[in-house]
Chains A and B, each alone.
Chain A
Amino acid sequence: MKSSAHYHWVRYSRREKYVRYFWLLLTAIVVFWCLRTLDIFWPWVLDAPAQMADLFSRMSPPSWVRWQEIVYAMAQTINIGTLATLLALVMALPAAYLAAQNTTPNAATLWLGRFIVVSSRSVNTIIWALLFVAVFGPGALAGVLAIAFRSVGFIGKLLAEAIEEIDRRPVEAIEATGASRAKVILFAVVPQVVPTFFAISILRWEINIRESTVLGLVGAGGIGLILQGAIDTFQWQLVSAILIAIIVVVVFGEVVSGWLRSRVI
């Protein structure tokens, strides 16, 4: 058998290649534009690795002298995250009911529901916290409200999607018995979305634990307060202890939520 002596396999056709080059070039131009116009002081960039190394050397070893304070603040952080999740669930249920096309009473309420969901999600927790600290003063309450207001949109959106995907037939079956609207929802809609509801709640709880670690930076309670204080006073060894504590709590949150999810679903 005779085959062509120098057969070379290529991965992309010529056209594919040019399309790829075009995108690469475009990306390069955009990056170049960003780097040129961003206000970056380049000597600092070159110095950054040395500065980071210096910072890490000052951070080690972590200092656990104030461990009681850290544990207490961490408990508060977890509590803020948990209470906020519960509060958010209470607020998200009606929001999801309004934002789902198949349960909402009319077009106006549909848009109201969507407005609540979108505006809640578009404002970051930190910004909600700034707002609530301005209203209620510094403290954990502002933190709980900030996280709750942020979570409503997330839970509401996912729950509304779950409601929209339900099976119509149980709803019709219950309706056929002459049940009231409230009963239809309780016996035909709710049972279908309960598993999703728990899954979403657990997921959001995990996210909220992470979110609640930064609330203190704007004065809304939790571990962030001590962290901010330690950074402002250059107690880097305390900072590293707090950071380790945060990792522990976040990983704890992940493990607990993973375990709960495997139990629920």
Chain B
Amino acid sequence: MTQPAHYQWRRTPFIANRWLRYGIWLVSAAYLVWAVATLEFDWARIEEGMTRAVQIFDGAFPLDYSRWELLISGFIESIQIAIIATIAGILLSIPAGILAARNIVPRFVYLLGRAIVIVARSFHPVIVAIIFVKAVGFGPLAGILTLIVYTVGFVGKLIAESIEEIDPGQVEAIKATGAGYFKTLTFAVFPQIMPRQVGLTIYQFDINLRASTIVGIVGAGGIGGTLMNSFRRYDYDFSFAILSLIIALVIFGEWVSGKLRKRIT
């Protein structure tokens, strides 16, 4: 055995090719410099920020729960928006999911379904909310429509994916009995995706609950509107009170949905 006396072990690099490795570092560094340069920081304003942050936190504590009636009605509205939007959204995402599943519809329908799901998923709920507020006016209706779109985008996509993964044997078996398209769907496709679907619905409700607290920022109902107003009035003790409850609601929602999903799956 011929080995140098002082042999030192080195970790193998993540990218073996040296040129590629340094090339990637160089490109990344160049991008970083450019990206930071495009952001146009206002340094004077940022310096002021620190004193302002102190002011905000000074104004925020102790939290102000005195207008609790306003808080409760806002939160109930958020929860109701989430409930209706989840139910309606799930019902709508079933047809959307079917349209977007490659294995059970013709190709042009599949492309249409995919387009629906992609467009619904591309927009942040707040953007969708602004548009619905312009179309149907301020209030919870705009919020409900927004979250329906949000649900269709997310659940529709996952339904399509789970339909694409089903066992074709069962579909053939039902078809062999002479069943039509809808009977095949109800007896061969749906039973296979149902268990996942239930878990997904609970998960989506949790997501919608979070989103329903922010769509109000652009006027689409729920507690978000109250939050935005209090921020605009520099009413920070009330804003932080709302925030604390939103955090509580989110944690509660996550806990409940986790428990439910564990029981089901």
Q: Which residues of A contact B (CB under 8 A)?
A: 27, 30-31, 33-35, 37-41, 44-45, 47-48, 51-52, 54-55, 75-76, 79-80, 82-83, 86, 118-119, 121-124, 126-127, 130-131, 134-137, 139-141, 144, 187, 194, 210-211, 213-214, 217-218, 221, 224, 227-228, 231, 239, 243, 246-247, 250-251
A118-B251, A130-B228 given; A55·B218 CB < 8 A: no
Q: A126-B214, A137-B42, A217-B127 are in contact. List 7 more A-B contacts (CB 8 A).
A: A38-B80, A55-B131, A135-B53, A137-B46, A213-B124, A218-B217, A231-B131
A137-B45, A247-B118 given; A27·B213 CB < 8 A: no
Cross-chain contact B251 with A122 (CB below 8 angstroms)? yes
Cross-chain contact A82 with B35 (CB below 8 angstroms)? yes
Cross-chain contact A39 with B39 (CB below 8 angstroms)? no
| Cα of A91 to Cα of B213 in the assembled complex, Å | 26
Among B62-70, B98-106, B133-141, the stretch that binds chain A is B133-141
Cross-chain contact B139 with A135 (CB below 8 angstroms)? no
B189 within 8 A of A: no
| Cα of A187 to Cα of B81 in the assembled complex, Å | 49
Within the complex, which residue of B35, B140, B247 is in contact with A123, where a contact is CB–CB below 8 Å?
A: B247
Using Cβ atoms and an 8 Å threshold, which residues of chain A touch B250? 121-122
Q: Which residues of B contact A (CB under 8 A)?
A: 11, 14, 31-32, 34-36, 38-42, 45-46, 48-49, 52-53, 56, 76-77, 80-81, 83-84, 87, 118-119, 121-124, 126-127, 130-131, 134-137, 139-141, 145, 210, 213-214, 217-218, 221, 227-228, 231, 243, 246-247, 250-251
Cross-chain contact B136 with A51 (CB below 8 angstroms)? yes
| Cα of A47 to Cα of B87 in the assembled complex, Å | 22
A126-B217, A135-B53 given; A247·B122 CB < 8 A: yes
Within the complex, which residue of A34, A48, A52 is in contact with B84, where a contact is CB–CB below 8 Å?
A: A34
| Cα of A44 to Cα of B131 in the assembled complex, Å | 15
Using Cβ atoms and an 8 Å threshold, which residues of chain B touch A135? 49, 52-53, 56
Using Cβ atoms and an 8 Å threshold, which residues of chain B touch A228? 130
| Cα of A118 to Cα of B250 in the assembled complex, Å | 10
| Cα of A45 to Cα of B137 in the assembled complex, Å | 10
Cross-chain contact B39 with A79 (CB below 8 angstroms)? yes
Cross-chain contact B126 with A126 (CB below 8 angstroms)? yes
| Cα of A254 to Cα of B164 in the assembled complex, Å | 20
Report the nearest A residue to B115, measured CB to CB: A247
Shortest B115–chain A CB gap in Å is 10
A48-B135, A124-B213, A135-B53 given; A83·B122 CB < 8 A: no
